[in-house]
Amino acid sequence: MVNATSDLVYRTNADWSEVDIVGGNQLLGRHGSLTPDWLDVLVHPDDRMLVADAIARARAAQSTYSAEHRVRNEEGAWSWIASRAVPIQPIGGEVTEWFGAATDITARKQHEDHQRLLLNELNHRVKNTLAIVQSIALQTLRGADGMGPAVERFESRLHALAQAHDVLTRQEWEHAPLHDIVRTAVAPCAQDGPGRFDIDGPPIQLEPQRALALSMALHELCTNAMKYGALSVAQGRVRIHWRTETREGRRVLVLHWQEADGPPVAPPAQRGYGARLIERGLRHDLGGDVALEFQPAGVHCRITAPMPELDVAA
d(CA 38, CA 16): 10
Asked whether residue 146 carries a pLDDT value surpassing 60, the answer given is no
Whole-number average pLDDT of the chain = 80
Least confident range from 16-25, 148-157, 173-182, 189-198: namely: 148-157
- Rounded Cα–Cα distance for residues 108 and 230 (Å): 51
pLDDT higher at 280 or 262: 262
Give dist(CA 69, CA 101) in Å, integer: 13
- Per DSSP (E only), the strands in 156-278 are 176-177, 197-200, 205-206, 237-247, 250-260
What is the C-alpha separation between 161 and 230, in angstroms, rounded? Answer: 23
User: What would the pLDDT profile of 267-278 be if each residue is shown by its tens digit?
Assistant: 877 666 567 667
Q: pLDDT at residue 143 above 70?
A: no
DSSP assignment string, 119-172? HHHHHHHHHHHHHHHHHHHHHHHTTSTT-HHHHHHHHHHHHHHHHHHHHHHHTT
What contacts 312, CB < 8 A, 6 or more positions away? 202, 203, 204, 205, 244, 251
pTM: 0.52
Average pLDDT over residues 187-194: 69
Gap between the Cα atoms of 51 and 44, Å rounded? 10
pLDDT of residue 47: 94
Burial of 168 (0-12, 13-18, 19+ CB in 10 A): buried
Range of lowest pLDDT (125-129, 176-180, 243-247): 125-129
Please give the average per-residue pLDDT across 169-176, as a whole number: 67
Neighbours of 195 (CB within 10 A): 8
